[in-house]
Amino acid sequence: MTERPSAEVSATPALGGPGAGDNEVLVTGLGATTPLGGDVTSTWEAMLAGRSGVRQLSEEWAAEMPVRIAARLAVEPTEVIERVKARRMDRVQQVAVVAAREAWADAGSPDVEPERLAVVVGSGIGGALTLLGQWDVLREKGPRRVSPLTVPMLMPNGPAAVVGLEVGAKAAVRAPVSACATGAEALAIGLELIRSGKADVVLAGGAEACIHPLPMAGFAAMRAMSTRNDEPERASRPFDKGRDGFVLGEGGGMVVLERASHARARGRTGYAVLAGAGITADGYDIVQPDPSGTGQARAVAEALADGGLTGADIQHVNGHSTSTPAGDMGELLALRTAIGDHPVVTATKSMTGHLLGAAGAVEAIATVLSIRDGIVPPTINLEDPDDAVCLDIAANTARKMNITAAINDSFGFGGHNVALAFTAL
């Protein structure tokens, strides 16, 4: 992957803030596997071209489901991971390892003491396929046929554990679980680990793989998912009047965060600065976001303050924007409150579907690449904007623009709100 050319990493963020000096945190590596591509490059190219990764499900069980579409991975992880190793991991763990390997290699495989290396990887649901699959084995074949690897494959910290073992991290291996805000929260925790002096390098992100009849039936019963089964590529349509719910996807995104002085010492420039993070809670409902958007706006405001930024500094927002009737408009109101009327907003879930615990990490990668390349990927399927749309949406085609600071926000069931502020080098 080609990095943005630069003579030397500055010791001070472009727009200042408490991250200045040795506590400045750079993004030095990116890795992803998504419904749009098996790596960052192919995913980014597909995003900029406005391609959808949503397809009809071909499994027999899907025929009886009210929702028969999803966004599956473009490349099977078993095509990348050694066969024997892959068989010892749940699919979500495989996804995490694929993305982590790319991010680590992209960062130049940092030479860092294990006690100064941390991993923060989360998943909203975890090893659901193992849990449900082994329950079937137990019922149909008895307890002696249950795999001895069942527990390490289903445990929620499994993705973090396998990635930690992959890179030999000993400073910490942490596994946040905050529903659809998980991937973003992992990056926020990574930022704090470096700032606090507990690590010099953190491999952070999220992974999800739960396209299975039970989770899909559960989401469908909540009427949270789109039922546009005959038009899968047009089903995810954030901000459009015709939106009727999100589309479930699977994937993983990983980011190498690194102390600037550590990166400089090994000759690495990086992509961007993770300047700040904000984490709040709505305290409103287990699934519905607070319609006032107050908690979401506070998370964005905290990220700005943490990064020494103001709303006027932000040119772009990669939004959570799931294509649900209530969620999209509440988010725009929160962004206008915290930032103002000027940022260009995009919703890449219109192409990837909703990757749940991986969403925030994959969208953070898109935000970083928007800063690097000076371009905002489109929100596809935006044909008839909701009358309540109050911000500038990059609709249907990518938009070129200079970006020095951007926000990526993520929200999850339970009222979790996370915002990340990135700045140019």
What is the average per-residue pLDDT within 114-118?
Answer: 98
What is the average per-residue pLDDT within 226-237?
Answer: 98
Determine the length of the chain: 425
Domain count, the chain: 1
Q: Is residue 344 one of the residues assigned to a domain?
A: yes
* Greatest Cα-to-Cα distance within the chain, rounded to the nearest angstrom: 63
| 391 pLDDT above the threshold of 70 | yes
Task: Judge whether 354 counts as a catalytic residue.
Answer: yes
Q: Are 132 and 214 in contact (CB under 8 A)?
A: yes
Q: Is residue 2 one of the residues assigned to a domain?
A: no
Each residue of 78-97: pLDDT tens digit? 999 999 999 999 999 999 99
What is the average per-residue pLDDT within 374-388?
Answer: 98
Per-residue model confidence (pLDDT) at position 267: 97
Per-residue model confidence (pLDDT) at position 190: 98
**Rounded to an integer, what distance in angstroms lies between the CA atom of residue 252 and that of residue 98?**
8
Per-residue model confidence (pLDDT) at position 14: 37
Cβ neighbors of 161 (< 8 A, separation 6 or more) are 152, 155, 173, 175
Domain containing 280: what range?
25-415
Q: Is residue 261 one of the residues assigned to a domain?
A: yes
**Rounded to an integer, what distance in angstroms lies between the CA atom of residue 166 and that of residue 97?**
8
Q: 23 falls in which pLDDT band (50, 70, 90)?
A: confident
Q: Which two tokens stand for residue 20?
A: 């200045």
Q: Are 268 and 258 in contact (CB under 8 A)?
A: yes
| 206 pLDDT above the threshold of 90 | yes
Per-residue model confidence (pLDDT) at position 112: 98
User: Which one from 180, 212, 316, 416 is the annotated catalytic residue?
Assistant: 180
Per-residue model confidence (pLDDT) at position 22: 74
Q: Are 343 and 334 in contact (CB under 8 A)?
A: no
Q: Which two tokens stand for residue 258?
A: 């690194």
Q: Which of 280, 379, 323 is nearest to 331 (CA)?
A: 323
Q: Are 57 and 68 in contact (CB under 8 A)?
A: yes
**Rounded to an integer, what distance in angstroms lies between the CA atom of residue 55 and that of residue 169?**
37
Task: Judge whether 390 counts as a catalytic residue.
Answer: no
Q: Is residue 11 one of the residues assigned to a domain?
A: no
Each residue of 172-200: pLDDT tens digit? 999 999 999 999 999 999 999 999 999 99
**Rounded to an integer, what distance in angstroms lies between the CA atom of residue 421 and that of residue 425?**
13
Each residue of 281-307: pLDDT tens digit? 999 999 999 999 999 999 999 999 999
Q: Which of 50, 15, 72, 47 is nearest to 367 (CA)?
A: 47
Amino acid, single-letter form, for residue 285:
D
Q: 15 falls in which pLDDT band (50, 70, 90)?
A: very low
| 227 pLDDT above the threshold of 50 | yes
Per-residue model confidence (pLDDT) at position 315: 98
Cβ neighbors of 185 (< 8 A, separation 6 or more) are 122, 176, 178, 279, 360, 410, 416, 418
Give the number of C-alpha atoms closer than 13 A to the C-alpha of residue 149, restricted to the C-beta side: 13
Q: Which of 8, 30, 19 is nearest to 265 (CA)?
A: 8
Q: Is residue 17 one of the residues assigned to a domain?
A: no
Per-residue model confidence (pLDDT) at position 251: 98
Q: Is residue 306 one of the residues assigned to a domain?
A: yes
Q: 13 falls in which pLDDT band (50, 70, 90)?
A: very low
Task: Judge whether 320 counts as a catalytic residue.
Answer: yes
Please report which helix (H) or strand (E) contains residue 254, including its range.
strand 251-259
| 263 pLDDT above the threshold of 70 | yes
DSSP state of 185: H
Cβ neighbors of 54 (< 8 A, separation 6 or more) are 35, 69, 70, 71, 232, 233, 235, 236, 247, 249, 353
- Lowest-confidence pick of 6-10, 96-100, 117-121, 202-206: 6-10
User: Which one from 262, 320, 342, 390 is the annotated catalytic residue?
Assistant: 320
Q: Residue 272 forms beta bridges with which residues? A: 27
Cβ neighbors of 338 (< 8 A, separation 6 or more) are 296, 297, 298, 300, 301, 304, 311
User: Which one from 212, 262, 316, 354 is the annotated catalytic residue?
Assistant: 354
Q: Are 377 and 363 in contact (CB under 8 A)?
A: no
Q: Is residue 189 one of the residues assigned to a domain?
A: yes
Percent residues over pLDDT 90 in the chain: 94
Q: Are 247 and 72 in contact (CB under 8 A)?
A: no
Q: Are strands 172-174 and 117-122 parallel, antiparallel or unpaired?
A: parallel
Q: Is residue 383 one of the residues assigned to a domain?
A: yes
- CATH, residue 352: 3.40.47.10
